[in-house]
């Protein structure tokens, strides 16, 4: 959905140690995108929809040792945090996503940045017919789950319908699978099967969608569309993720809450199996830099406090330094526009104009962040430099506050800004923004910290008045993942309840528009309205950053999108 939400801590400019994908990643936010596989892309039949991504972003990581070649064996160690879920159909955050995409898989997947951003996974090919509304997928021969059971087209039909069923309680199934004819009826509880999902034979699955949509294939790369083993899920019930049967390059070997997650090579994987014996995620926490220098973990992001030292060529650790391309994400402060005082657009606009993001970037983050004045990040399909943002203007901010229904602090509702956390500092960005609201507008807010899983649950249920500490990272290379998913009035992921009929008109037009230029124009028109309405306070876009990778770790690559990465990593040690 990330869609994936990424935890936005105090700005670690490197590989995060606990990705919350959408937060995603090690403890997530404002962190670089997770590394991606370096395997060559396989051409598929879907036309590319991301021309802006045709350059390669796989600019970091260790190159393959041509002399010796990849070796099997070894363990890769990383710092992570407890995922809220390991059920692919329930994933909405980066911490969970980063684990799930290594263990489970679907028909298609995001590939490295090539002329075609999608490639076959469990499906070896697909065709599109009936004016772009019928997709027929041909599964690879002899597919197996990690326990040896065969994978068939029926397993996909059951999995899609299971994801949409109310008993599963997925908050995103409607968004990712709702284009398929009949899925909405399952979500609404009036059907148990979808007519738009047909099993032609054991290896052929036909999906019929309600209208031609350029981004449909992209949606199938998200975990909501991953295949599960029916017997595994039904026999173990709610505890099935304790011992999941899966199809990814790794299988879950062990999960001890608060201690560690161990992934082992899946020997029944359809393609070349992983080189690594295991990937071990440390969930107990710790200081990432110290753990890296003590060889407790094999990669870490570099925070501001350590940046000068690691960039010093006289320092031994400098040889491990790699560049990380910016991830396609935007961090923000969210507003529940159904809750006072955020139901008043002038009040929200005042808050936007009261924050000097450039000053924060200059003096707090040494220009290592890029202030965001729109939603779609630079370099991403659909980005427009013509979007007019709400820039810092304290006098205008005061005027707007005075014109709002909440000008009088004596009658203004109490404002609670919720951030993920379990104590300590709520995050430097949050503190500085709160101080600017206090200084420039006289608006006092309370900052409340809640545990990550509870935070995500409250966000989905619309319980938060305002929230911070998150980034929204693209799930696939199409502007739909930002503008439509986040701001369409009936989207399940429109956490702030933002509703603008004109925005809805633009995004609905973009859904079926076949001309790429006109599609982007619809999204840009919608984005301008969203920004002008101050539905959010955008803060930062993804930035170039630094990470440290141990010299014995090979083919650990980075990408601006989150892609499964560990299958191609190997240890030369």
- CB 481, CB 3: distance < 8 Å: yes
Angstrom distances, CA of residue 358 to CA of 84, 332, 355, 370, 426: 34, 15, 9, 8, 21
Q: Is the peptide bond before 318 cis (omega within 30 degrees of 0)?
A: no
Virtual torsion, Cα 284, 286, 290, 296, nearest 10 deg: 10
Q: State pLDDT tens for residues 165-194.
A: 999 999 999 999 999 999 999 999 999 999
Virtual torsion, Cα 417, 421, 423, 429, nearest 10 deg: -60
Distance, in Å, from the CA atom of 525 to the CA atom of 267, rounded to the nearest integer, reads 49
Fold of 329-541: Dipeptide-binding Protein; domain 3 (3.10.105)
- The closest alpha carbon to 99, from 250, 276, 268, 271, belongs to 250
Q: Which residues are CB-neighbours of 310 under 8 A, at least 6 positions away?
A: 302, 317, 318, 320, 321, 546, 548
> Rg of the Cα trace of the chain?
23
- CB 153, CB 206: distance < 8 Å: no
Q: Longest Cα pair distance anywhere in the chain, in angstroms?
A: 73
Q: Identify the DSSP state of 209.
A: B
- Its sign, for the CA torsion 568, 569, 570, 572, is positive
Distance, in Å, from the CA atom of 368 to the CA atom of 356, rounded to the nearest integer, reads 15
What is the model's pTM? 0.85
Give the percent of the chain with pLDDT over 70.
87
Which sequence spans correspond to the domains of the chain?
4-247+544-571, 329-541
Q: C-alpha 541: how far from its chain's center?
A: 14
Q: Write out the two tokens for 458.
A: 């409250």
pLDDT score, position 42: 27
Distance, in Å, from the CA atom of 469 to the CA atom of 459, rounded to the nearest integer, reads 12
Virtual torsion, Cα 307, 310, 314, 320, nearest 10 deg: -150
pLDDT score, position 490: 93
> What's the burial of 452, exposed, middle or buried (CB within 10 Å: 0-12/13-18/19+)?
buried
pLDDT score, position 554: 97
pLDDT score, position 11: 34
- The closest alpha carbon to 545, from 301, 223, 308, belongs to 301
* HSE of 387, CA atoms in CB hemisphere, 13 A: 30
Given a cut of 50, the residues of the chain with pLDDT beneath it are 1-66, 114
pLDDT score, position 116: 65
pLDDT score, position 23: 39
* HSE of 521, CA atoms in CB hemisphere, 13 A: 6
- Kindly report the backbone phi and psi dihedral angles of residue 76, in degrees, each rounded to the nearest multiple of 5, phi listed first: -100, 130
Reply yes or no on domain 4-247+544-571 having CATH 3.20.20.210. Answer: no
Q: Helices 345-353 and 428-441: crossing angle, nearest 10°?
A: 110
pLDDT score, position 113: 63
pLDDT score, position 478: 93
Q: C-alpha 35: how far from its chain's center?
A: 13
- Residue 475 CB: number of other CB atoms within 10 A? 29
- Give SS3 for 548: strand
- Its sign, for the CA torsion 361, 475, 452, 443, is positive
């Amino acid at each position: 959905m990330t869609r994936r939400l990424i935890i936005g801590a105090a700005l670690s400019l490197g590989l995060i140690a606990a990705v919350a994908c959408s937060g995603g990643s090690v403890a997530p936010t404002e962190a670089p995108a997770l590394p991606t596989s370096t395997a060559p892309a396989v051409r598929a039949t879907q036309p590319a929809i991301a021309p802006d991504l045709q350059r390669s972003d796989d600019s970091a990581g260790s190159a393959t040792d041509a002399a010796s070649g990849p070796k099997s064996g070894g363990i890769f160690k990383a710092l992570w945090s407890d995922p809220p879920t390991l059920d692919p159909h329930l994933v909405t955050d980066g911490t969970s996503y980063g684990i799930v995409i290594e263990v489970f898989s679907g028909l298609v997947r995001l590939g490295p940045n090539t002329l075609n951003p999608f490639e076959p996974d469990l499906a070896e090919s697909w065709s599109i017919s009936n004016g772009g509304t019928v997709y027929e997928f041909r599964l690879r021969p002899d597919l197996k789950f990690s326990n040896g059971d065969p994978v068939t087209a029926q397993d996909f039909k059951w999995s899609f319908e299971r994801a949409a069923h109310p008993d599963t309680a997925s908050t995103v199934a409607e968004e990712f699978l709702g284009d398929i004819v009949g899925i909405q009826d399952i979500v609404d509880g009036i059907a148990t099967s979808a007519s738009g999902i047909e099993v032609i034979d054991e290896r052929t699955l036909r999906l019929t969608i309600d209208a031609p949509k350029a981004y449909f294939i992209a949606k199938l790369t998200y975990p909501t569309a991953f295949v599960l083993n029916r017997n595994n899920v039904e026999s173990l019930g709610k505890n099935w993720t304790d011992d999941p049967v899966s199809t990814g390059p790794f299988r879950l070997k062990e999960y001890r809450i608060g201690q560690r997650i161990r992934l082992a090579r899946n020997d029944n994987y359809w393609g070349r199996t992983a080189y690594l014996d295991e990937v071990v995620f440390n969930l107990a926490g710790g200081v990432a830099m110290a753990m890296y220098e003590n060889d407790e973990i094999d990669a870490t992001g570099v925070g501001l406090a350590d940046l000068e030292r690691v960039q010093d060529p006289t320092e031994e650790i400098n040889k491990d330094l790699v560049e990380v391309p910016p991830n396609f994400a935007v961090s923000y402060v969210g507003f529940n526009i159904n809750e006072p005082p955020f139901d008043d657009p002038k009040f929200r606009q005042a808050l936007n104009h009261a924050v000097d993001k450039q000053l924060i970037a200059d003096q707090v983050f040494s220009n290592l962040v890029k202030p965001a004045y729109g939603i779609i990040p630079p370099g991403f399909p659909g980005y427009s430099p013509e979007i007019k943002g709400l820039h810092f203007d304290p006098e205008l901010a005061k005027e707007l506050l005075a014109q709002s229904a909440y000008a009088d602090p004596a009658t203004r509702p109490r404002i609670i800004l919720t951030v993920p956390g379990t104590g300590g500092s709520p995050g430097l960005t949050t503190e500085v923004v709160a101080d600017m609201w206090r200084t420039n507008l006289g608006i006092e807010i309370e900052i409340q910290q809640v545990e990550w899983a509870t935070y995500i649950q409250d966000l989905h249920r619309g319980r938060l008045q305002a929230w911070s500490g998150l980034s929204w990272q693209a799930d696939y290379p199409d502007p739909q993942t930002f503008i439509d998913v986040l701001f369409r009035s009936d989207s399940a992921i429109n956490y702030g309840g933002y509703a603008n009929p004109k925005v809805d008109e633009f995004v609905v037009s973009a859904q079926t528009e076949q001309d790429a230029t006109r599609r982007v124009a619809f999204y840009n028109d919608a984005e301008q309205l969203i920004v002008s309405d101050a539905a959010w306070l955008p803060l930062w876009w993804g930035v170039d950053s630094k990470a440290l990778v141990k010299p014995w770790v090979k083919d650990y690559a980075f990408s601006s999108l989150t892609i499964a990465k560990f299958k191609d990593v190997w240890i030369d040690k």
